[in-house]
């Protein structure tokens, strides 16, 4: 009964979404305030209905209702409760429902937190979100109904893919989807601006915190996925340039460009068209990512069972959304205007360079991701584009971005002078060069690429500090240094924190890439292996019983300089419900390095108590990669909470009125 209620709520929500996607938009166009007023209640109703529907599916999982096909396929009565709940998004249908849930929550939040916006604007934003929601609800209802019944009911579920039975599944998809779907809000704001023809500083100020929120979630979601792959897949890598990773990285790159271009639109009124185009692109890439992942055209860890109808539906939806928004853009963009002029060297031109480079980076990723599909579709063979391609292209494109990141904050709006900037940053260059020369030598080997990475990271941190100090000096006006430092605008503090996060990330990537060490080796009980000064002694393997698996658990002693540090217990698990073994690595994490042990397989399958193939890793600074991402998100969060985004209606209204006359 409950699954039927959930299904019914989903149908109702599709109808509500259709109303939300039509009446308010028409109302805003024809000035019918009664129709405009539909927007907020409809968005709320849509969110409530989808939440109810989602709760119904969760209930089916928790209660082990194997008469629902989706539950029978993705759960099992032995599955621990947290994975039964997370199992809701462990497959195609449920993860789509999660997508929709996130979308309706974003719409609900916009409805609640937009009291200071003009009603027509709110109606257009929510209407656009309603249309997107309608498309996805239709997709679920027509091709991927999670509530479909199984008659007769299965006695036992097929179980969740063991790879997904991990805390990562509980956190990674919701975060990532919040980010993906969050760009729909930036998109909706852009469409609303095109529809109304009002694209001004006030508009940029409204959409900035929303874009920032989506970007924060996406950053955390991607970082979480990377960390999960690192400890769970047992390969010790943190990024594989897997097409699905790329699918989430492309909106991130464009989203990052969008944040910066929105800053220019807000402060200077420039880049208007460009900002709108980026907002459309960011969301289009989110949709493209969904298409790539869900249609099954990709070979990937993320590929679920496929159904060609789904691929075609998303493809049509993708074409409709991108096509109609670009058409609207083409029709309206000339009216929007270009905004303020700026000099060849100025904050604007530097940010423009940043934007162009980020877009180029995204284009290269897109090319590398789609090229194999294109070649395959043309029938000229199957190819794969591997990590070396991305690395070869990415480093040269990212290097100037990282360099300019240090320069940008020193440049004045409109017209900046190069000698002035050079004078301000010269010490940062000295610090960077020192770090680049000395630090690699301390680690034993000096490589040009290592030095470059460290140079850029140190450069970013040093310029951020210099810039911060300079600004505090200029704004002191008699107050103490600390008091002035604490009263800096949050956008400014957030920006530097996020940039430092990038530097921390670069240190992690550089160090782990340059100095990691790994060994694959055969070990008999009692034997030991050394990696980078860490001494691992293998004491053998014993059988351990988990809630729904049995595992061979390795027993290792980790020692440094002859002193015992800790036990390490990697596992090789065999889940009852599937024939699939799972490697659980054991990681000793630290501020400056991780050491990592995982079990391969017994050399003789019939003698698990004997010799094993074992992999040991030394990963210097690897946690800085995710630490950097957390800092970036934190910076974003601080910037998002800036006072000026909470200006009330009285302050916002005259600005947009003034811009209308202009």
Q: List residues binding other proteins (CB under 8 A).
A: 161, 163, 234, 299-301, 303, 344, 356, 360, 364, 367-368, 371, 379-386, 388-389, 392-393, 396-397, 520-522, 578-583, 598, 600-601, 603, 611, 613, 615
H-run or E-run covering 543: strand 534-545
Smaller CB distance to other proteins: residue 151 or 378?
378
**Cβ of residue 531: shortest distance to other proteins, in angstroms?**
14
Nearest of 203, 201, 202 to residue 191 by alpha carbon: 203
Q: What is the 3-state secondary structure (H, E, C) of 51-107?
A: HHHHHHHHHHHHCCCCCEHHHHHHCCCCCCHHHHHHHHHCCHHHHHHHHHHHHHHHH
Minimal distance, residue 247 CB to other proteins, in Å: 17
Helix ranges (DSSP H) in 475-576: 481-486, 490-515
Residues 6+ apart with CB under 8 A from 441: none
CA dist 25 and 128 (Å) reads 8
The residue (of 240 and 283) whose beta carbon lies closer to other proteins is 240
- For residue 376, the minimal CB distance to other proteins (Å) is 9
In the bound state with other proteins, the residue whose beta carbon lies nearer, of 9 and 365, is 365
* Least distance in angstroms from the C-beta of 232 to other proteins: 10
C-alpha 456/C-alpha 452 separation (Å) is 6
**Minimal distance, residue 317 CB to other proteins, in Å:** 24
From CA 51, how far away is CA 54, in angstroms rounded?
Answer: 5
Q: 470 or 604: whose CB is closer to other proteins?
A: 604
Q: Residue 15 or 393: which CB sits closer to other proteins? A: 393
Element (H, E) at 570: none
Distance CA 3, CA 147 (A): 6
Nearest Cα residue to 498 out of 256, 266, 253, 211: 256
What number of other Cβ atoms are within 10 A of residue 82's Cβ?
12
Q: Which residues pair with 556 in a beta bridge?
A: 538, 568
**Nearer to other proteins among residue 141 and residue 363 (C-beta):** 363
- Which are the contacts of 503, defined by CB distance < 8 A and separation ≥ 6? 456, 457, 458, 460, 461, 464, 628
Please, what's the largest Cα pairwise distance for the chain? 83
Nearer to other proteins, 493 or 603 (CB): 603
For other proteins, the closer CB: 379 or 526: 379
Q: Is 599 helix (H, G, I), strand (E, B) or coil?
A: strand
Distance in angstroms between the alpha carbons of the first and the last residue of the chain: 59
50/451 Cα distance (integer angstroms): 52
Residue placing its CB nearer to other proteins in the complex, 381 or 444:
381
Looking at the Cβ atoms of 117 and 250, the one nearer to other proteins is: 250
Closer of 15 and 375 to other proteins (Cβ): 375
The least distance separating other proteins from the CB of residue 221, rounded to whole angstroms, comes to 20
Q: Output the smallest distance, CB 84 to other proteins, in A.
A: 20
- The token duo for 235 is 């390969």
Integer Cα distance of 400 and 305 in angstroms:
41
* Minimum CB–partner distance for residue 408 and other proteins (Å): 17
Nearest approach, Cβ of 186 to other proteins (angstroms)? 26
Minimum separation from the CB atom of position 494 to other proteins (A): 29
Please tell me the distance from the alpha carbon of residue 211 to that of residue 448, in angstroms, as a whole number. Answer: 37
8 Å CB contact between 250 and 285 = yes
User: Cα–chain-centroid distance for residue 61?
Assistant: 27
What are 574's strand-pairing partners? Answer: 550, 581
Least distance in angstroms from the C-beta of 394 to other proteins: 9
| C-beta of 191 vs 599, nearer to other proteins | 599
d(CA 381, CA 387): 20
Residue whose entry in the numeric block shows the structure tokens 């610090």: 431
Residue among 292 and 504 whose Cβ is closer to other proteins:
292
State the minimum distance, in angstroms, from the CB of residue 176 to other proteins.
Answer: 18
Q: Which is nearer to other proteins, 85 or 613 (CB)?
A: 613
CB of 243 to other proteins, least distance (A): 12
CB of residue 263 to other proteins, shortest distance in Å? 21
Burial label for 414, CB within 10 Å (0-12, 13-18, 19+), is middle
Answer for the pair 104, 136: CB distance below 8 angstroms, yes or no: no
């Amino acid at each position: 009964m409950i699954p039927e209620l959930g299904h019914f709520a989903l149908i109702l929500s599709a109808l509500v979404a259709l109303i939300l996607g039509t009446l308010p938009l028409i109302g805003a166009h024809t000035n019918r305030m009664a129709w405009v007023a539909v927007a907020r209640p409809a968005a709320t109703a849509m969110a409530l209905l989808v939440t109810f529907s989602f709760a119904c599916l969760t209930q089916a999982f928790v209660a082990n209702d194997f008469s629902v096909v989706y539950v029978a396929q993705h759960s099992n009565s032995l599955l621990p409760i947290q994975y039964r709940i997370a199992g809701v998004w462990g497959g195609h249908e449920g993860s789509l429902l999660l997508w929709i849930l996130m979308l309706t929550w974003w719409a609900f939040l916009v409805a609640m937190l937009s009291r200071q916006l003009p009603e027509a604007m709110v109606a257009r934003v929510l209407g656009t979100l309603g249309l997107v929601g309608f498309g996805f609800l239709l997709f679920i209802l027509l091709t991927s109904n999670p509530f479909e019944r199984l008659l007769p009911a299965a006695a036992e579920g097929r179980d969740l893919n063991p790879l997904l039975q991990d805390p990562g599944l509980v956190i990674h998809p919701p975060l990532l989807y919040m980010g993906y779907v969050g760009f729909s809000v930036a998109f909706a704001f852009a469409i609303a601006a095109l529809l109304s023809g009002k694209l001004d500083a006030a508009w940029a100020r409204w959409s900035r915190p929303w874009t920032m929120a989506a970007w924060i979630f996406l950053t955390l979601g991607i970082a979480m996925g990377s960390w999960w792959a690192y400890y769970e897949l047992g390969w010790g890598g943190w990024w594989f340039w897997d097409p699905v990773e790329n699918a989430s990285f492309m909106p991130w790159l464009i989203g990052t460009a969008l944040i910066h271009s929105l800053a220019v639109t807000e402060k200077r009124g420039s880049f208007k068209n460009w900002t709108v185009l980026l907002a459309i692109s960011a969301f289009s890439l989110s949709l493209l990512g969904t298409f790539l992942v869900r249609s099954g055209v990709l070979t990937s860890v993320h590929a679920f069972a496929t159904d060609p109808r789904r691929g075609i539906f998303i493809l049509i939806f993708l074409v409709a959304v991108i096509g109609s928004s670009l058409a609207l853009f083409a029709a309206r963009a000339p009216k929007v205007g270009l905004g303020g002029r700026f000099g060849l060297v100025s904050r604007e031109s530097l940010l423009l360079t940043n934007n162009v480079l980020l877009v180029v980076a995204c284009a290269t990723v897109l090319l590398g991701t789609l090229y194999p599909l294109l070649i395959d579709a043309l029938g000229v063979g199957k190819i794969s584009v591997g990590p070396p391609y991305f690395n070869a292209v990415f480093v040269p494109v990212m290097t100037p971005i990282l360099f300019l990141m240090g320069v940008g904050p020193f440049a004045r709006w409109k017209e900046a002078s190069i000698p002035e900037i050079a004078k301000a940053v010269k010490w940062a260059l000295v610090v960077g060069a020192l770090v680049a020369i000395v630090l690699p030598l301390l680690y034993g080997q000096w490589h040009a690429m290592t030095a470059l990475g460290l140079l850029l990271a140190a450069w970013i941190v040093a310029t951020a500090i210099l810039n911060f100090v300079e600004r505090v000096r200029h704004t002191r006006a008699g107050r103490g240094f600390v008091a002035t430092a604490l009263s800096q605008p949050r956008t400014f503090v957030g920006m530097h924190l996020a940039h430092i996060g990038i530097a921390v990330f670069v240190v992690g990537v550089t160090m782990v890439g340059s100095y990691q060490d790994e060994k694959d080796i055969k070990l008999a009980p009692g034997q030991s292996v050394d990696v980078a000064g860490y001494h691992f002694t293998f004491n053998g393997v014993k059988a351990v019983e988990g809630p729904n698996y049995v595992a061979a658990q390795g027993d290792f002693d980790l020692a440094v300089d002859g002193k015992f540090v800790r036990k390490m217990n990697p596992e090789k698990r065999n889940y009852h419900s599937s024939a699939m073994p799972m490697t659980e690595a054991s990681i000793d994490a630290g501020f400056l390095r991780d050491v990592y042990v995982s079990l391969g397989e017994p050399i003789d399958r019939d003698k698990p108590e004997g010799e094993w193939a074992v992999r040991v890793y030394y990963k210097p600074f690897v946690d800085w990669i995710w630490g950097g991402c957390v800092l970036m998100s934190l910076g974003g969060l601080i910037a998002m909470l800036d006072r000026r985004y909470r200006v009330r209606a009285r302050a916002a209204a005259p600005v947009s009125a003034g811009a209308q006359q202009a």
